Amino acid sequence: MKKILIYVIAFAFPLCGWAKSTVDVEKYWQKFQELYEEEDLDDDHGTLAKYAFIDIDEDGVNEVWLRTEDDEDGAIFCFNDEDEPVLILAESEGKRPLFGKGWVYIGYPAGGPSYFNHYVLVKNSRVALEFTDFQVEESHEYYLGEKEIKKAEAKKIQANFKGEGNQLTPEWHQRVNK
């Protein structure tokens, strides 16, 4: 019985999305850097230097998380149907994303009494929707993508982001070809 349990643990877990990704990160590195620089939140971006594979939606297909050497900035990517990288989320100045089952979140002060909350739902390793709650004191502006939406619709969308978010500590790999 113990041999069977060991066999199941050793061979079944990789089939559940714990296997290494087959993404050739070097092939896409320049595109990753370009997309990151376009979205960078503070215009003082660094050079992406390391990467990790994560499976946000637990579908067995890994997304790619890249970071600068100092861990202050980074970006998370998936791929579209044409096998091109798509930016899921950019992080900067030490603002760390939180991960839930099938979603990623980043929030930070946006100056004065305002706060920026950005959620991305990932399904089948694709961006399914982006939701933003921009809060100024007690007032909220809600966006689905870039379109402003009403509070009632926002509350329905927020139901997609269940559970507590957690920080991840993935296994980081240094870029080989610099």
Residue-by-residue DSSP string for 82-150:
TS-EEEEEEE-TT---EEETTEEEEEEE-STTEEEEEEEEEETTEEEEEEEEEEETTEEEEEETTEEE-
Please give the pLDDT value at position 178.
Answer: 64
Rg of the chain (C-alpha set): 18
Please give the pLDDT value at position 5.
Answer: 32
The two structure tokens encoding residue 7: 């066999």
The lowest-confidence range among 74-78, 97-101, 173-177 is 173-177
Distance between CA atoms of 32 and 49, rounded to whole angstroms? Answer: 11
Alpha carbons within 13 angstroms on the beta-carbon side of residue 100 total: 15
Distance between CA atoms of 15 and 27, rounded to whole angstroms? Answer: 25
Interval 14-55: pLDDT, tens: 333 333 356 889 999 999 999 998 885 556 678 899 999 999
Please give the pLDDT value at position 11.
Answer: 34
Please give the pLDDT value at position 155.
Answer: 95
Among 70, 81, 89, CA closest to 131 = 89
Please give the pLDDT value at position 30.
Answer: 93
Please give the pLDDT value at position 78.
Answer: 95
Interval 80-134: pLDDT, tens: 888 899 999 998 877 889 999 999 999 988 888 999 999 999 999 999 999 999 9
